[in-house]
Amino acid sequence: MTLSDSASSTLVARRAMIDSQLRTSGVNEEYALARMLAVPREDFLPADKAAQAYIDRAVMLGEGHLAAPLFYGKALLEAAPTPSARVLVVSGGTGYLAALLAPLVSSVTEISAAEAAALQGAGEYDLVMIDGAIEQLPDGLAAALADDGRIVTGLLLRQVTRLASGRKVAGTVNLQPVEDMGIPVLPAFAAPRRWTFA
């Protein structure tokens, strides 16, 4: 297979992903579909995992993950990025989400989950997007949001992962579940374990 044949086959795979995974699940906004078509998922995977780039579930890596296409499509819709937005992306370990967002916004800063868990923010971002599911939102990451800023993330609630979003109002961010879906969990955002008595 030549390089052009390979590029052509992955473009076909991206189109199939859009038609069979995204459009059928309600992701129809042109900006989201255009970005999902433009960014080759296989470029964010090691060579031995590239064949799994367009499956309808997450590809787990040694240090991170590439979530299912549906998570990214729905997250882009929920984020509704604007050209003036300053965005903080908490990486799932591949850089894919930041690549999707970059042409849609003013700036993208990407940090690791470990860096985000220890962040001491100062209200400089209009949008925070987390590439994975969290159990709790650290105060420092919430503080990184400007007033009226938005956050889009996965949320682990009672052992079920959901897409969730929230807005910073009066210094507080309340996450609201949007839709149940499979999302890799980020251990850096685990809630403290509490003793329970039977």
Q: Can you give the pTM of this predicted structure?
A: 0.93
What mean pLDDT value characterizes the chain? 93
Tens of pLDDT along 84-113? Answer: 999 999 999 999 999 999 999 999 999 999
- In the chain, which stretches have pLDDT less than 50? 1, 3
Q: Give Cβ neighbours of residue 40 (< 8 Å, ≥ 6 apart).
A: 10, 14, 53
One CATH from 3.50.50.60, 2.40.50.100, 3.40.50.150, 3.60.20.10 for 3-189: 3.40.50.150
- Whole-number pLDDT of residue 159: 93
Tokens representing residue 196 in the block: 């329970």
Tens of pLDDT along 157-179? Answer: 999 999 999 999 999 999 999 99
Going from N- to C-terminal start, the domains of the chain cover 3-189
DSSP 94: S
* Nearest CA among 184, 168, 44, 186 for reference residue 115: 186
